[in-house]
Amino acid sequence: MVFMVRMRFLSLAKYFEKLELTSGRIEMTNILVDLFREAKSSEEIAKITYLLIGEIHPPYIGLELGLSEKLIIRSIAIAAGYDNKEVEDFLLKVGDIGKVAEEFISKRKQYSLYIEELTVEGVYNTFDKICRISGEGAITDKVNYLSGLLINADPLEARYLARIADGNLRLGVADMTILDALSIAFGSKEWRKDVEDAYNVMPDIGKIASIIYSGGLEAIKNVDVTIGIPVRPMLAERLQSPEEIWEKTGGKLILEYKYDGERLQIHRDNDNVYIFSRRLENITNQFPDVVEVVKRNIHGERFIVEGEAVAVNPETGEMLPFQVLMHRKRKYDIDRIVKEIPVTLKLFDVLYHEDEGSLIKKPLLKRRKLLERMVEPDDSISLSEMMIPNSIDDIWKFFHLAIEAGCEGLLCKSAGEESIYQAGARGWLWIKFKRDYRAELTDTLDLVVVGALYGRGRKGGIPSSFLMAVYDKENDVFKTVCKVGTGFTDEQLQLMDKMVREYRLDRKPARVESIMTPDFWIEPKIVLEITAAEITISPVHTCGYGVIEDEAGLALRFPRFTGRFREDKAPEDATTEKEVIEMFRMQRKIIG
């Protein structure tokens, strides 16, 4: 008989504890390398990585645990033999469900006759079952499964089981850190670029981990787009003027309207259509009308296309701003909303087609031609407006037309042989040119909240300003760039108070680099849109530190919240340090 050795969940919990106590990104990577080397199989390493980020399934699968705090409290009470009320009161006191589970399991009154040692596989599979239970009796079954795990748990295991159940593991480990550690654990640092390329077309950390475990670099290099798994979106750089755009692209470009809607990546696999958001979540339920249109107006049975869904006025057909679409986020009554806020789909790319296979390495014009052949346009679907400019003047003309039509500006896309689809990258193959050009900073920034500060006076007991950070993609850390306390309405401050309380930390998160110390730290999760007057040199911020001047970084002057919470962006999608440095250089060029 072959006896399969499995990793104990207790070993994983001990790694979790170590990770929780680290204060630096490098140390965190080293711990992960040790952990990955302990994995016993490709299935096990996938499960370890999902548990590490506290997600049983990646967001594109659309399966969630569905355990409320109340249910977790009930499970702890059952497993330890206490009343719900006792558990609840203790939670009110300590505020961390993990600590509560740990405490009650350590003083449990109830012991199971047969304590079963928890394994990573067993824990993962039980959480998976919890995700899949639905219908009548679902609540009772979910509680039974979770209390079943807790009955067999050590106090340390209980801490992490409860936090995973609550969707709040707080280890500060993100996908990029895992990619680093995987490269080192099974190959070398040199693998990192290929591993990231693979992740960009298959952003499923568990799948990447098991591919690298079983097939090494060769298998990683063979990863390609797959129907059903969303590709990380290609993004645009920005420039200030048509002159610069012309120069940067050598005049070999196409122009497209930049629609102000929601980006959709649409996968069709015969009768199944899946729609993914910019953050790669499965949002098919929000767009039953788009599903219909895709089946009706796009030729082919198996393909991946991308476009922007734009809300339109049902009477006039005029395009409406992005905010209107937010009403689609509701779970109920979607049929009514679909009628009240119809959308038109503006397709701009195709990434896979049954006859051609993967298209991401093909030049843009070839992809666009195929897309033209695939689509039967009508009021609800068409290709993005496009033109091939012959001069800088053409760019201006098309820009004014775009604004007139209610768009944000233009996307200027390189049309040379090199114009592949760069999954997950913000590169110069796409350049955006937006309307708010030259008003204050050319563009807004999307920044991550990493700390909160209390104000004096009217705002009293709730934080009144926030320490904001950019993302340093190369090092996978967050660096501060300003404090922002302007632009919030009272309601928005209340909302921020609620949100930051959920992510509050007593120590600096390992992936945040900061000179300032806020009143309390916040796990990088919340992304806000910020405008500012300009970028200045600052000795107290870590963004761009040492790049422009030796002992100083860059900061935003007069930063202001625009009122837009960028829930469609993960912290790693925030404005990068590199972009701010570029914006600073552009500003110098203009102002001199």
* Span from 257-265, 455-463, 465-473, 553-561 in contact with ligand ATP (CB under 6 A): 257-265
Show Cβ contacts of residue 386 under 8 Å, excluding neighbours closer than 6 positions: 254, 255, 256, 368
**Residue 348 lies near ligand ATP (rule: CB under 6 A):** yes
Nearest alpha-carbon partner for 263 in 234, 300, 237, 291: 234
Contacting ligand ATP within 165-184 (CB under 6 A): none
CB 453 within 8 A of CB 466: yes
Give min distance, CB of 384 to ligand ATP, in A: 4
CA–CA dist 431, 579 (Å, integer): 13
**Residue 276 lies near ligand ATP (rule: CB under 6 A):** no
**Residue 256 lies near ligand ATP (rule: CB under 6 A):** yes
**Residue 564 lies near ligand ATP (rule: CB under 6 A):** no
258 is catalytic: yes
Whichever of 154 and 349 has its CB closer to ligand ATP, that residue is 349
Whichever of 77 and 407 has its CB closer to ligand ATP, that residue is 407
Tokens linked to 152? 């067999």
As beta bridge partners, residue 31 has none
**Residue 578 lies near ligand ATP (rule: CB under 6 A):** no
Near ligand ATP by CB under 6 A: residue from 219, 235, 403, 547: 235
**Residue 365 lies near ligand ATP (rule: CB under 6 A):** no
How many residues sit close enough to ligand ATP to count as binding (CB under 6 A)?
14
**Residue 232 lies near ligand ATP (rule: CB under 6 A):** no
Name residue 303's amino acid: F
Show Cβ contacts of residue 238 under 8 Å, excluding neighbours closer than 6 positions: 431, 432, 433, 434, 442, 443, 579, 583
CA–CA dist 407, 404 (Å, integer): 7
Burial of residue 511 (number of CB atoms within 10 Å: 0-12, 13-18, 19+)? buried
**Residue 308 lies near ligand ATP (rule: CB under 6 A):** yes
**Residue 411 lies near ligand ATP (rule: CB under 6 A):** yes
Whichever of 7 and 320 has its CB closer to ligand ATP, that residue is 320
CB 220 within 8 A of CB 191: yes
CA–CA dist 226, 242 (Å, integer): 37
* Span from 159-167, 220-228, 258-266, 481-489 in contact with ligand ATP (CB under 6 A): 258-266
Give min distance, CB of 432 to ligand ATP, in A: 5
Give min distance, CB of 159 to ligand ATP, in A: 37
* Span from 28-36, 179-187, 255-263, 582-590 in contact with ligand ATP (CB under 6 A): 255-263
Tokens linked to 360? 């991401």
Contacting ligand ATP within 501-560 (CB under 6 A): none
What is the DSSP track for 257-270?
EE-SSEEEEEEEET
Near ligand ATP by CB under 6 A: residue from 29, 384, 414, 422: 384
**Residue 258 lies near ligand ATP (rule: CB under 6 A):** yes
The catalytically annotated residue of 142, 207, 258, 362 is: 258
CA–CA dist 554, 580 (Å, integer): 8
CB 434 within 8 A of CB 257: no
Is the torsion defined by CA of 504, 506, 512, 517 positive or negative? positive
Q: Length of the chain in residues, anyone? A: 592
* Span from 93-101, 195-203, 229-237, 500-508 in contact with ligand ATP (CB under 6 A): 229-237
Is the torsion defined by CA of 160, 166, 171, 176 positive or negative? positive
Whichever of 161 and 429 has its CB closer to ligand ATP, that residue is 429
As beta bridge partners, residue 469 has 448, 480
Whichever of 258 and 479 has its CB closer to ligand ATP, that residue is 258
Whichever of 14 and 263 has its CB closer to ligand ATP, that residue is 263
CB 485 within 8 A of CB 455: yes
* Span from 111-119, 197-205, 250-258, 498-506 in contact with ligand ATP (CB under 6 A): 250-258
Near ligand ATP by CB under 6 A: residue from 54, 172, 233, 451: 233
Give min distance, CB of 225 to ligand ATP, in A: 17
As beta bridge partners, residue 485 has none
Whichever of 236 and 493 has its CB closer to ligand ATP, that residue is 236
Nearest alpha-carbon partner for 572 in 213, 177, 185, 218: 177
Tell me which DSSP letter residue 128 carries.
H
CA–CA dist 278, 262 (Å, integer): 8
CB 581 within 8 A of CB 544: yes
**Residue 46 lies near ligand ATP (rule: CB under 6 A):** no
For the window 432-461, what string marks contact with ligand ATP as x by the rule CB under 6 A? x-----------------------------
Give min distance, CB of 375 to ligand ATP, in A: 14
Whichever of 47 and 426 has its CB closer to ligand ATP, that residue is 426
* Span from 16-24, 164-172, 217-225, 233-241 in contact with ligand ATP (CB under 6 A): 233-241
The three-state secondary structure class of 526 is coil
The H or E element that residue 352 is part of is strand 343-353
Positions in the binding site for ligand ATP (CB under 6 A): 233, 235-236, 256-259, 263, 278, 308, 348, 384, 411, 432
Catalytic residues: 258
